[in-house]
Amino acid sequence: MVKEEVVLVSFWSSPFGSRVKIALEEKGIHYEYKEEDLFNKSSYLSTINPVHNKVPVLIHNHRSICESLNIIEYIDEAWSDRSPQFLPSDPHQRSQARFWADFIDKQLYEASKKIYREKGEEQVNNGKKEVLRILKLVESELGEKAFFGGDNLGFVDISLIPFYSRFYTWETFGKFSIEEECPNLVAWAKRCMQKQSVANSLPDPLKIYDFIVSLNKYYHK
Amino acid sequence: MAGDKVKLLGFWGSPFALRVEWALRLKGVEYEYVEEDLSNKSPMLLQYNPLYKKVPVLVHNGKPIMESLVIIEYIDETWKNRPLLPIDPFERATSRFWAKFVDDKFVPLIIKMSSSTREQKDKVAEEAREVLKTLESSLNQNKPFYGGKILGFMDIAVAWIGIWAPMLEKIIDIKLLDEEYMPLLNTWFRDVLEVLVIKECIPPLDKLLAHYKDYYDRFMATKSN
């Protein structure tokens, strides 16, 4: 077997990086982790991701793959002989999974920043409304399934679950309870957390909260 | 596939519907094209795409697929003849990366370009030119198309810029596709748009220009009120 060299460059709090960690662990792929300081970006990062200069970046046998959802598809295809398969085999179901992951990508992170980064009750409330709208839509897509992927973690599960670490932060800043508003979604999140790959890959919610509070001091200077 | 029913809900002036048509035609898929009036969206569109209410939507045997790049991948996976994406996972990831790069970086700048002052427009146009220059860095001088000797996913995902950029240059009076600054990109767009299957479904350029100019003028009028 050819020795595979797999490196993940990311930042501990990045939900996008967590997605990749989960995917790698689910497939049982050994990798080296390199922490990048996002407040003091290395020249190394600009060589492996010259276009965006962002994390996460996966480096597989010296070639870089960027953008987290793209990386997960790559992992699924490059290690297609290993289960689980993140994307289903039926083309229509695959298109649905890609659609929802893309929806989450486009909307959730930006909307959530309004809750904790903005000053002013109106902006915070707008952020809260948007986040709940998105989570409720996603919750109804989940329906009665254990996971978006069916019986196991799939592409959409991996795309969404890292944001669970941020629920505490959103709830504290926005003064609301996500469990009250989206009980099925929180039940899903707790099911995901029982998986080793997820539990090992997600940062502690309180650590995230402290980090965001200190970041706000920096941004609101 | 016999008995397949394929419908594309689109708008004649949409670059995203156009690239889905390119994918269908390259695969030789028979489809029914349904023109949507975007100022009066049909119940069918609202039923198939309740979340975004946008075109294009592909309906295959009654099942809808939304978001043009997702649709193109669906087309590639469902009709396996004449592949659009390469076989190698790394090359597939690279194609997807560049297609998304353009959608994420270039499209918002076009929208932003309807800024009111001359100075702001020029500044945004400069940013847009840099995005295009970065896109050029993905091209290989030795290959006519990104897909190699024949058109691939990246080519059809991005070639709409070769039509829309010159049009925007006329409407907004800015420079985007600088021939000197981006020679490879200019050549690449020209080569892609010359391919018969691509060329034959490009809408009439004068009609497109008139449509977007009218849209832009009305938008600018509301801004100054």
A112-142 per-position pLDDT tens digit: 999 999 888 999 999 999 999 999 999 999 9
Nearest CA distance, B77 vs chain A (angstrom): 6
* Distance in Å, alpha carbon of B87 to nearest chain A alpha carbon: 10
The model's confidence at residue A89, banded by pLDDT at 50, 70 and 90, is: very high
CA B94 to chain centroid = 18
Distance (Å, whole) CA B125 – CA B131:
10
* Mean pLDDT estimate for chain A: 95
Q: Tell me the C-alpha distance between B41 and B55, whole Å.
A: 10
Q: Looking at chain B from residue 70 to 129, which residues have their Cβ under 8 Å from any Cβ of chain A?
A: 70-71, 73-74, 77-78, 89-90, 92-94, 96-97, 100-101
Out of B63, B67, B94, closest to residue A102 by CB: B67
Sheet with A32-35, edge to edge strand ranges: A32-35, A6-10, A57-60, A63-66
To the nearest whole number, what is the mean pLDDT of chain B? 92
**Per-residue confidence band for B224, with pLDDT thresholds at 50, 70 and 90:** low
Highest averaged pLDDT of the listed ranges B79-88, B136-145, B147-156? B79-88
C-alpha B125/C-alpha B129 separation (Å) is 6
> Is 80 exceeded by the pLDDT of residue A3?
no
Q: Which residues of A touch B101 (CB under 8 A)?
A: 51
A71 interfacial to chain B (CB closer than 8 Å): yes
Look at residue A13 and give its three-state secondary structure. Answer: coil
Q: What pLDDT shows up at residue B225? A: 55
Closest Cα of chain A to B72: distance in Å?
Answer: 10
To test the contact with chain B by mutation, choose from A6, A48, A99 the residue with the greatest count of B C-beta atoms within 10 A, namely A99
Q: What is the DSSP letter of A65?
A: E
Whole-number Å distance between alpha carbons of B109 and A62: 33
Rounded Cα–Cα distance for residues B94 and A66 (Å): 9
Burial of B170 (C-beta count, 10 Å sphere; 0-12/13-18/19+): exposed
Residue % of chain B over a pLDDT of 70: 96
Contacts of B77 in chain A (CB under 8 A): 91, 94
pLDDT band (50, 70, 90) for residue B4: confident
Nearest CA in chain A to B99: A70
Task: Check B90 against A66: CB less than 8 A apart.
Answer: no
Write the CB contacts of A90 (distance below 8 Å, at least 6 apart in sequence).
Answer: none
Does the structure's ipTM exceed the value 0.90?
yes
In this prediction, residue A37 carries a pLDDT of 92
Residue B60 contacts A where some CB pair is shorter than 8 Å: yes
Going by CATH, does the domain composed of A6-79 fall within 3.40.50.620?
no
- Which ranges constitute the DSSP H helices of A27-90? 43-48, 68-78
Interhelix angle B161-172/B89-112, rounded to 10 degrees, is: 20
The Cα A123–Cα A115 span in angstroms is 7
CATH of domain A91-220: 1.20.1050.10
Contacts of A92 in chain B (CB under 8 A): 60, 63, 65, 74
Between B146 and B195, where is the model more confident?
A: B195
Question: In the prediction, which pLDDT does A221 show?
Answer: 67
Q: For the stretch A6-28, what's the b/e string if a residue is b when 16 or more beta carbons lie within 10 angstroms of its beta carbon? A: bbbbbbebbbbbbbbbbbbbbbe
A168: buried, middle or exposed (CB in 10 Å: 19+, 13-18, 0-12)? middle
Asked whether the beta carbons of B109 and B131 are under 8 A apart, the reply is: yes
- Residue range A180-192, pLDDT digits in tens: 999 999 999 999 9
Q: How far is A125 from chain B (nearest CA, A)?
A: 22
Contacts with B74 from chain A: Cβ below 8 Å:
91-92, 94-95
- B111's CB contacts (< 8 A; 6+ apart) are none
What are the CB-based long-range contacts (under 8 Å, 24+) for A81-90? A82/A27, A82/A28, A82/A29, A83/A27, A84/A26, A84/A27, A84/A149, A84/A152, A84/A153, A84/A154, A86/A23, A86/A26, A86/A149, A86/A153, A86/A154, A86/A155, A86/A158, A87/A154, A87/A155, A88/A149, A88/A150, A88/A154
pLDDT tens column, B13-63: 999 999 999 999 999 999 999 999 999 999 999 999 999 999 999 999 999
Query: Which pLDDT score is estimated for B84?
Result: 96
Cβ-defined contact of A103 to B51 (cutoff 8 Å): yes
Q: How high is the pLDDT of residue B147?
A: 76
Kindly report the CA angle at A46 between A45 and A50, in degrees rounded to 5?
125
DSSP H helices in chain B? 15-27, 43-48, 68-78, 89-112, 118-136, 153-158, 161-172, 183-194, 196-199, 205-224
- Report how far residue A94's alpha carbon sits from residue A99's, in angstroms, rounded to the nearest whole number: 8
DSSP state for residue A147 in the 8-state scheme: B
In angstroms, the CA A8 to CA B152 distance is 29
Domain residue limits, chain A: 6-79, 91-220
Band (A2; pLDDT cuts 50, 70, 90): low
Residue B181: partners with Cβ closer than 8 Å, 6 or more residues away? B129, B133
Tell me the two tokens of residue A19: 């997605």
Strands B57-60, B32-35: parallel, antiparallel or unpaired by DSSP?
A: unpaired
Give residue-wise pLDDT tens across range A45-64: 999 999 999 999 999 999 99
**Nearest residue of chain A to residue B52 (CA atoms):** A103
pLDDT score, position A4: 82
pLDDT in tens, B165-219: 999 999 988 999 999 999 999 999 999 999 999 999 999 999 999 999 998 888 8
Asked if the domains A6-79 and A91-220 are classified in one and the same CATH topology, the answer is: no
Which neighbouring-strand residues pair with B74? none
- Res B2: pLDDT: 57
Instruction: Tell me if residue B49 falls in helix, strand or coil.
Output: coil
pLDDT at A162: 98
Please judge whether A92 and B60 are an interchain contact, meaning their C-beta atoms are less than 8 angstroms apart.
yes
Task: For CA atoms A140, A146, A150, A153, give the dihedral sign.
Answer: positive
